[in-house]
A and B are shown apart, each in its own frame.
Chain A
Amino acid sequence: MSIISTPILGVLLLSGVFATWGYGIFRAPTEFYQGEVYRILYLHVPCAFSAFLSAFVLCICSLRVLLQKSAASMSLWTARACAEVGLIYTLLTLFTGSIWGYPTWGVWWTWDARLTTTLILAFLYGCYLLLWNTLDSYPLRAKVCSVFGILIFLDVPIIYKSVTWWRTLHQPPSLLSPSAPMSSEILYPLVASIFVMLGFAAWLILLRSQNIQTHNEIEESLCHTAHGGTLS
């Protein structure tokens, strides 16, 4: 077992995530325009970045599967893990965004460009997992899922630019915006919360991919013993 995938590191990273949430809920200053409800920012934005990170790693792993046949298997397991973790983070982004949207916009959901493109990302992750479970044979599954994995990442820049390309309810990117700079008391903990959540997402991806790999090894071993008859 790799030291990176130990539960202790996971507990440390999750504690870091909860520490940033605690700051967001109890210590962060009240925002002038939105009041208290903006505190969901410390959860919503890190979840969105983690969903994007999953799509990025999924794309890299899919490219490796298509280009390098020798390194295919571990990249394939990692891609599968990215789709699962990415789906969880995308659903959390939609959920927290909806809860933030109701007191701010007066609606739980609207077919806004940012919300719709994020919902499409969730559907794409779901379709990847469906494809994975539907296709049985190794080369076909690897090829189809890898091409689909690259397509999933194409949605990420569309999500990011959706607020500038179309007229939306969602606010434009404000993290590093020079026109409306954030207070350092809000900005620095937010950046910290993003990095800690990205670390936790990476740890989850690694753990999940190792679990998928081990599960596959067990299945192969069982098949081998069933055909060879060496299991006592």
Chain B
Amino acid sequence: MNAAPFIYTAFGISAFVLIGYTLLQVRLQRENRRLLTLLAKGTSHGT
């Protein structure tokens, strides 16, 4: 049995999952920091 399709499928999908999850978390981290900055500005300019 040719092993190449099994090997490339396993590595390819695992790489996709790990990269996807990492990018999602990095994006979430940036978004959270942006929101925190906005909130800090908002509260400091408040009454």
Residues in chain A within 8 A of chain B (CB atoms): 1, 5, 7, 10, 14, 17-18, 21, 25, 35-37, 39-40, 43-44, 47, 88, 92, 95-96, 99-100, 102-103, 200, 204, 207-208, 210-211, 214-215, 217-218, 221-222, 225, 229-232
Select from chain B the residue with minimum beta-carbon distance to A224.
B43
Contact call A211/B14, Cβ cutoff below 8 A: no
B38 CB → nearest A CB, Å = 10
The 4 closest A-B pairs by CB, nearest first: A230-B46, A36-B3, A37-B3, A214-B32
B11 CB → nearest A CB, Å = 6
Contact call B36/A18, Cβ cutoff below 8 A: no
Select from chain B the residue with minimum beta-carbon distance to A44.
B10
Contact call A204/B25, Cβ cutoff below 8 A: yes
Contact call B46/A231, Cβ cutoff below 8 A: yes
Contact call A204/B42, Cβ cutoff below 8 A: no
Contacts of A92 in B (CB 8 A): 14, 17-18
Q: How many angstroms between the C-alpha atoms of A103 and B47 in the bound complex?
A: 69
Given A21-B11, A40-B6, A232-B42, does the pair A217, B25 have CB atoms closer than 8 Å?
Answer: no
- Choice from B6, B11, B14, B15 contacting A103 with Cβ under 8 Å: B6
Contact call A99/B46, Cβ cutoff below 8 A: no
Q: Identify the interface centre among B10, B25, B29, B33: most chain A CB within 10 Å of its CB.
A: B10
Contacts of A5 in B (CB 8 A): 29
Contact call B42/A95, Cβ cutoff below 8 A: no
Q: Binding site of A, secondary structure by majority: helix, strand, loop or mixed?
A: helix
Contacts of B1 in A (CB 8 A): 37, 103
Contacts of B39 in A (CB 8 A): 218, 221-222, 225, 231
Contact call B4/A36, Cβ cutoff below 8 A: yes
**Total contacting residues, chain B, CB less than 8 A:** 30
Given A47-B14, A95-B10, does the pair A211, B32 have CB atoms closer than 8 Å?
Answer: yes
Select from chain B the residue with minimum beta-carbon distance to A201.
B18
- Choice from A18, A39, A231 contacting B42 with Cβ under 8 Å: A231
Contacts of A96 in B (CB 8 A): 10, 14
Contacts of B33 in A (CB 8 A): 1, 214
Contact call B11/A102, Cβ cutoff below 8 A: no
Q: How many angstroms between the C-alpha atoms of A32 and B8 in the bound complex?
A: 20
Other contacts beyond A25-B7, A88-B17, A211-B29: 8, CB < 8 A: A14-B19, A21-B15, A92-B17, A96-B10, A96-B14, A100-B10, A221-B36, A225-B42
Query: 21 pairs across A/B with beta carbons < 8 Å?
Result: A1-B29, A18-B15, A35-B3, A36-B4, A37-B7, A39-B3, A39-B7, A40-B6, A43-B10, A44-B10, A47-B14, A88-B21, A99-B10, A100-B10, A200-B18, A218-B35, A222-B39, A225-B46, A230-B47, A231-B39, A232-B46
